Amino acid sequence: MIDHWRTFAAYNAWANRRLYGAVAALPPQDFARDGGAFFRSLRGTLNHLVVTDAIWLDRLRGGFTPPHQLDDVPYPEFAPLEEARAALDAALSAFVAALTPADLDRELSFRRQASPEPIRQRLGSALAHLFNHQTHHRGQAHALLTQFGGPEAGPPLDLLLYLRETGAA
């Protein structure tokens, strides 16, 4: 099962690199353009993913207090956001690489921003949520890319493509 999560961490970083490369190819004004997504724009959506991944990584490491609100935009400019994303993907990959099978059953304890009661969750199910959440919002960002730049603006992000390209299939 550990190999499963290591594959997802590597896939996550690969998909983010592809997505960010496509965003960089758009005209700069499209980065903050409101496209009607849940977090409105590519800037809002990609910042949300950085914020939530930072929160989850802190929780996975045993932290308890979220550093940001879910709709914060700590990186209003693309270049620093891209750097933060790459650093976060590297940190997440390193965290997952160090896990043992027993770690997946470790219980996390944290508080959600929306409610004060403590939450307890297994680390393995938290990883499932983190990677699924990434895929969900990457899909929204992909829709914005194709809305702004046409069908060719959105790169393929399929897990099967990643597995074939890396020889992990």
Decide if 82 contacts 24 (C-beta within 8 A). Answer: yes
DSSP state of 70: T
pLDDT of residue 55: 92
pLDDT number for residue 64: 67
User: Could you give phi then psi for residue 118, rounded to 5 degrees?
Assistant: -70, 145
pLDDT at 116: 76
Kindly list the averaged pLDDT for each block of 10 residues, start to end, along the chain of length 169.
95 98 97 96 97 93 75 94 98 97 94 81 96 97 97 96 91
CA nearest to 42, candidates 64, 24, 62 = 24
What was the pLDDT predicted at 146?
97
Q: How many CB atoms lie within 10 A of CB 108?
A: 18
The predicted structure's pLDDT at residue 132: 97
The pLDDT of residue 69: 76
Q: Is 142 annotated as a binding residue?
A: no
Domain that holds residue 109: 2-166
4 has binding-site annotation: no
Q: Is 137 annotated as a binding residue?
A: yes
**Cα 136 to chain centroid, rounded:** 9
| Number of domains the chain is built from | 1
Read off the CATH number of the domain in which 131 is found.
Answer: 1.20.120.450
Type of residue numbered 167 = G
Quote the pLDDT of residue 86: 98
The helices-and-strands tally (H runs, E runs) of the chain is 5, 2
CA nearest 88: which of 100, 101, 75?
75
